[in-house]
Amino acid sequence: MADVKTFVPAPDRAPPSSAVGPIAWIRDNLFGSIGSSIATLVFFYLFFSYVPPFVEWALINANWTGSDRSVCEANAAGACWTFINVRLEQILFGLYFASNPDELWRPTLIFILFFALLLPLLFEKTPGKKWLTIALLGVFPVVFYFVVYGGYFGISQSNTTQWGGFLLTFALAFVGILLALPIGILLALGRRSELPVIRSICVIYIEFWRGTPLITILFMASVMLPLFFPAGVEFDKVVRAMIGITLFQSAYTAEAVRGGLAAIPKGQSEAAMALGLGYWRRTVFITLPQALKISIPSIVNTFIALFKDTSLVSIIGLLDLLNMAQTTARSMEWKGYDIEAFLFAGFVYWAFCYGMSRYSQNLERKLDTNRRN
Amino acid sequence: MTTDTQMAPAELGESIITIDGLNKWYGQFHVLKDIDLDVKRGERIVICGPSGSGKSTLIRCINRLETHQEGSIVVDGIELTDDTKHINDIRREVGMVFQHFNLFPHLTVLENCTLAPIWVRKTPKREAEELAMQYLERVKIPEQANKYPGQLSGGQQQRVAIARSLCMNPRVMLFDEPTSALDPEMIAEVLDVMVGLAEDGMTMLCVTHEMGFARKVANRVIFMDGGQIVEQNEPEEFFNNPQNDRTQLFLSQILQH
């Protein structure tokens, strides 16, 4: 046998200096071509002509303290956050709680509880996440009912027609999301069912609610629904809005989940069948977890849309965050500060929606089992 | 595979699969025509044939991944009908290995192996895990137990798929082109595991074009074309003295290179 040569891989060399470093990065990414250079210059021009004046108005020259509009009128060059500060309770918790200072602890406690349960869930290493999740999704809504609605344990019953502000936005969105997910999953499974009756029911439900504007559904729920019930039977307005939102939202969630189910290769359920797993076990253990993982972005997308769409309840006379902020800015006392009201409401919506978006991205990364680590 | 010598003939028992007058259509297309097949306990059958000849469909009928329209299939004394309970009873006893592995990507290797024993066989979790580790050792990848399928090579994934089936203690194993999707250097590791299974007396039906494996392991080689069984024989006879011109042509095509 002849001598066998041993294969020795050539050593890696560092890349040339023209390819790395900040100057190379700027040249490649900002001034790589004529078009890119123009875009860069236009961007910097727009940025420096609009952002510094806005920051000056909104932060540097802004009015933060005081208790009436005289402060803001004295310094008209800055934003009037005094207004938000003074009316904060009304914008966040609505008229009922804002006008009963003794009851303010109720919404405050609820939001403290919510964040106390939510924040630990955002960290990967938190122990007992399963129980925290159950507490947040199962126990928290019950506590919400007893504390915010009241009527038991010596807590006075609050008037839901005077619920409002962020508390109402939160309640509508939370209930909508919580109920729409399981209903939507069942609808999505039903729409893929081999049984024609179940499939038809699901298709009709989904297409009906998805094809109707939310504003119409809310209007119908508020104005039309009572006509079908005998006089004297009265549904709470907020409950009616919650039902309408859930019906609407579950149709959207169903389509998002169906998209995920459709993306699972047939081999997955075949392999599960070949192992002797029945329909529900195949669904619960094999297809659904994978489908939900794929549809996280689109499910969260519908949740974010819902969160903002709750402001449509103004059509039935409920004042959510946006409408409460707007109403406050139209009061005699604070007339003319609409921009501050909208900016504040917009910021609260954005903070929550951005939070949901980031959380979903984390979840996607965490559930990605294809990474090679 | 280490040697070319054929394995000792298996001790054949009574029939475990009896297929009688099986016909199947996909719409207008008549995909299986009058198939009769009797498989004895411990028998090792290799099914080959050109693509579209119905060989995968045939073995997929045995665990009812495909439904048939005419004829009867009896597995381990139970006839396959629309009765879901019978179907699941049979699937419990019949393991299947797929061309594309079909491992569950969201579960670890160990969870892939323990899912069915825990939920179908009602084995306690700890026991199921011990069993799974035994089989993972047998397919020589116990160290990958806590990884996800996406982190393994094709050959390793297929070995996990075999271990996953074995965890149900099946009486019959069906292999649907188990090495066709593998890179060449990984085929041997999968075939080695299959040879080991055959040596232990497992009843096997393999759709494969690995003729070396057929020669070494099979009691019987079946050649299918156009939805029919064209020819079946012991491997020596089948390869050296094919009776049908269609078989001769097929063998000359796959053995040419």
Smallest CA–CA separation between B246 and chain A, in Å? 32
Within 13 Å, how many C-alpha atoms sit on residue B82's CB side? 2
* Dist. CA A308–CA A297, nearest whole Å: 17
Structure tokens at A13: 């060399």
Q: Which residue has the higher pLDDT, B172 or A151?
A: B172
Q: What are residue B23's DSSP bridge partners?
A: B70
Does A367 lie at the interface with B, CB-CB under 8 angstroms?
yes
Please report the pLDDT score of residue A270 as a whole number: 93
pTM for this model (two decimals): 0.82
CB pairs under 8 A between A and B: 72
| 3-state SS assignment for residue A134 | helix
Is residue B1 very low, low, confident or very high in pLDDT (cuts 50, 70, 90)?
A: very low
Find chain B residues with C-beta within 8 A of A372's C-beta.
Answer: 150-151
Of B176, B13, B102, which is closest to residue B194 (Cα–Cα)?
B176
Find chain A residues with C-beta within 8 A of B59's C-beta.
Answer: none
* Dist. CA A336–CA A278, nearest whole Å: 64
Q: Residue A49 is inside which H or E element, if any?
A: helix A34-55
Smallest CA–CA separation between B8 and chain A, in Å? 30
Cβ–Cβ under 8 Å, residues B134 and B163: no
| Residue in B with minimal Cα distance to A288 | B106
| Interchain proximity A369–B150, CB inside 8 Å | yes
pLDDT above 50: residue B2:
no
Q: Residue A319 is inside which H or E element, if any?
A: strand A319-320
Of B155, B149, B106, B108, which is closest to residue B132 (Cα–Cα)?
B108
Residue B121 burial (10 A CB sphere; 0-12, 13-18, 19+): middle
Cβ–Cβ under 8 Å, residues A97 and A150: no
**From B88, B102, B149, residue closest to A270, measured CB to CB:** B102
* Dist. CA B167–CA B170, nearest whole Å: 8
How confident is the model over B201-214, as a mean pLDDT? 91
pLDDT above 60: residue B134:
yes
Q: What's the mean pLDDT when you consider all of chain B? A: 89
| Interchain proximity A278–B100, CB inside 8 Å | no
* Dist. CA A304–CA A348, nearest whole Å: 13
Smallest CA–CA separation between A276 and chain B, in Å? 5
* Dist. CA A62–CA A80, nearest whole Å: 6
B230-B235-B241 Cα angle (round to 5): 65
| 3-state SS assignment for residue A100 | coil
* Dist. CA B159–CA B138, nearest whole Å: 9
* Cα A290 to the center of its chain, rounded Å: 22
Does B88 lie at the interface with A, CB-CB under 8 angstroms?
yes
| 3-state SS assignment for residue A320 | strand
The tens digit of pLDDT for each residue in B57-105 reads: 999 999 899 988 999 999 888 888 878 788 888 899 999 999 999 999 9
| 3-state SS assignment for residue A63 | strand
* Dist. CA A211–CA B4, nearest whole Å: 67
Superfamily of domain A81-99+159-372: MetI-like (1.10.3720.10)
* Dist. CA B245–CA B247, nearest whole Å: 5
Does A270 lie at the interface with B, CB-CB under 8 angstroms?
yes
Does B96 lie at the interface with A, CB-CB under 8 angstroms?
yes
Is residue B7 very low, low, confident or very high in pLDDT (cuts 50, 70, 90)?
A: low
Which residues lie below 8 Å from residue A91, measured CB to CB, with a gap of 6+?
A: A84, A165, A166, A321, A324, A325, A328, A341, A344, A345
For an interface test with A, which of B60, B82, B85, B91 has the most A Cβ atoms less than 10 Å from its Cβ? B91
* Dist. CA B36–CA A249, nearest whole Å: 54
Helix axes A165-191, A105-121, angle to 10 degrees: 50
Find chain A residues with C-beta within 8 A of B66's C-beta.
Answer: none
- In angstroms, the first-to-last Cα distance of chain A is 42
DSSP state of A146: I
Please report the pLDDT score of residue B149 as a whole number: 92
Smallest CA–CA separation between B103 and chain A, in Å? 7
Find chain B residues with C-beta within 8 A of A293's C-beta.
Answer: 106
Find chain B residues with C-beta within 8 A of A270's C-beta.
Answer: 65, 98, 102
Share of chain B above pLDDT 90, in %: 55
Residue A99 burial (10 A CB sphere; 0-12, 13-18, 19+): exposed
Of B68, B135, B204, B85, which is closest to residue A276 (Cα–Cα)?
B85
Smallest CA–CA separation between A271 and chain B, in Å? 6
Find chain A residues with C-beta within 8 A of B98's C-beta.
Answer: 267, 270-271
* Dist. CA B20–CA A114, nearest whole Å: 65
DSSP state of A102: G
Q: Residue A225 is inside which H or E element, if any?
A: helix A225-228
Note the ipTM here: 0.89
Cβ–Cβ under 8 Å, residues B91 and B63: yes
pLDDT by residue, tens only, chain A of 373 residues: 567 888 888 888 887 777 777 888 888 888 888 888 899 899 999 999 998 888 878 777 777 777 777 777 777 777 777 777 777 777 777 777 777 777 778 888 888 888 888 888 777 777 778 888 888 888 888 887 877 777 777 777 777 777 878 888 888 999 999 999 999 999 999 998 888 999 999 999 999 998 888 888 888 877 777 777 776 666 778 888 888 889 899 999 999 999 999 999 999 999 999 999 988 999 999 999 999 988 888 998 899 888 888 888 888 878 888 888 888 878 777 777 788 888 888 998 999 899 888 888 888 888 877 654 4
Q: What are residue B24's DSSP bridge partners?
A: B32
Does B244 lie at the interface with A, CB-CB under 8 angstroms?
no
Is residue B10 very low, low, confident or very high in pLDDT (cuts 50, 70, 90)?
A: low
| 3-state SS assignment for residue A368 | coil
| Interchain proximity A267–B168, CB inside 8 Å | no
Mark which residues 271-310 of A lie under 8 Å from B by CB: 271-278, 281, 285-286, 289-290, 293
| Residue in A with minimal Cα distance to B100 | A267
Please report the pLDDT score of residue B3 as a whole number: 44
3-state secondary structure chain B: CCCCCCCCCCCCCCEEEEEEEEEEEECCEEEEEEEEEEEECCCEEEEECCCCCCHHHHHHHHCCCCCCCEEEEEECCEECCCCHHHHHHHHHHEEEECCCCCCCCCCCHHHHHHHHHHHCCCCCHHHHHHHHHHHHHHCCCHHHCCCCHHHCCHHHHHHHHHHHHHCCCCCEEEEECCCCCCCHHHHHHHHHHHHHHHHCCCEEEEECCCHHHHHHHCCEEEEEECCEEEEEECHHHHHHCCCCHHHHHHHHHHHCC
